[in-house]
Amino acid sequence: MSEDSARHVGPPKINGPLWVISLFLGLSEVTVSIATTQATGWIQGMLAIFAVMFPTLVTTVFFLILWHNNKILYAPREFSDSTTVSEYADAMNRSTRRNVNIVESALVKSLAGIEEKLDAIGASAKQRQEIAEYVTAAARSTVVTVDLAAFSEDASFEVPVDGRTSVAELLDAVYFGLRGKVGNLSYNRTWLLRDEKTGRSYDDIGTHWARIALRTERDFRPVREVGIAGGAQLTAYAI
């Protein structure tokens, strides 16, 4: 990236959660519908069941979240000017773990109905077990878990991520989780994140690094570009 082009890099357009949910649901239904017409036997039956159960499950989870914590369905720009970034992030952080648990609970409850359908089409016990494990792990694959034990009494902190989540958004979420424990713009100066599976310390991300290496004010690269994906187990530690 040249210096001139890097200077023009700005924050990407961020769509609200409602837009992302509708796009994901629409693409999923179209994909499953096409796959169902191409499959045969019990696989076709499973895809047909999924095509019916999935939107029902998403709708159930949506209304649960709408009832319990509807503020997370809106992007920061959709709040009034009187709402500060700190207030918004604090509200998001308090509710993240509870929302992940709601999704997991809804997925587990839906397994009972799915298993009945699988029995009807003659799926084996092994196939049912594999599907159950996949469904229960689905919710966990959309969050990055950060161990905060080095700074806070909280054992861990969960940050929802997807293909559009930027490094800046991830670090902002962790920073507000550590609020009062680390200073502003202190990443890569007083603390770092480390991947517990690979042992990699992420010293090549964040605002401080982006200003030097990318000549941008913040690190707007997608987290997947730097090797962080849903399901990752990270640890925050002092340097």
Is the pLDDT confidence value at 1 over 70?
Answer: no
Q: What DSSP element (H or E) covers 33?
A: helix 17-38
Residues 102, 170 within the same domain: no
pLDDT for 33-52, tens place per residue? 788 788 777 888 887 787 77
pLDDT at 23: 77
Residue 157 lies in a domain: yes
Mean pLDDT in residue range 94-116: 57
Whether residue 1 is contained in a domain is answered as no
Pair 220, 151 in one domain: yes
Element (H, E) at 157: strand 156-160
pLDDT for res 179: 73
List the one residue out of 43, 14, 19 whose CA is nearest residue 122. 43
Find the domain containing 200 and state its range: 143-238
Whether residues 115 and 157 fall in one domain: no
Q: Copy the structure tokens of residue 51.
A: 């095509």
pLDDT, residue 5, reads: 46
Q: What is d(CA 161, CA 234) in angstroms, rounded to the nearest whole number? A: 13
Among 48-52, 110-114, 156-160, 222-226, the minimum mean pLDDT is found in 110-114
State the total domains in the chain. Answer: 2
Q: Are residues 120 and 161 in the same domain?
A: no
Q: Is residue 61 part of a domain?
A: yes
* Residue 233 domain flag: yes
Cα–Cα separations (whole angstroms), residue 39 to 27, 46, 47, 48, 132 = 18, 10, 8, 10, 21
pLDDT tens string 6-28: 444 554 555 556 667 777 777 77
Residue 78 pLDDT > 80, yes or no?
A: no
Instruction: Lowest mean pLDDT of 94-98, 103-107, 169-173, 211-215, name the range.
Output: 94-98
Instruction: Establish if 228 belongs to a structural domain.
Output: yes
Assign 193 to helix, strand or coil.
Answer: strand
Q: Are residues 154 and 208 in the same domain?
A: yes
Residues ≥6 apart with Cβ < 8 Å to 36: 44, 47, 48, 51
Whether 102 and 211 map to the same domain: the answer is: no
59-63, 117-121, 157-161, 195-199: least confidently modelled range = 117-121
193, part of any domain: yes
Integer Rg of the chain from CA: 20
For 205-218, write each residue's pLDDT tens digit: 999 999 999 999 89
Query: Is the residue at 12 inside a domain?
Result: no
Domain-ending residue, one of 123, 138, 153: 138
Are both 86 and 176 inside the same structural domain?
no
Half-sphere exposure for 120 (CA within 13 Å, toward CB):
10
**What's the pLDDT tens digit per position in 148-174?**
888 877 667 888 887 888 999 899 888
Q: Report the range out of 122-131, 155-164, 227-236 with the highest average pLDDT.
A: 227-236
CA quadruple 227, 228, 232, 237: dihedral positive or negative?
positive
Domain boundary among 70, 105, 138: 138
Q: What is the pLDDT of residues 181-194, one digit of tens each?
A: 888 889 999 999 99
Instruction: Give SS3 for 20.
Output: helix
Q: Is 133 in the same domain as 156?
A: no
pLDDT greater than 60 at residue 89:
no
Name residues whose C-beta falls within 8 Å of residue 24's C-beta, 6 or more positions apart in sequence. Answer: none
H-run or E-run covering 3: helix 3-7
* Nearest partner of 117 among 48, 57, 60, 58, judged by Cα: 48
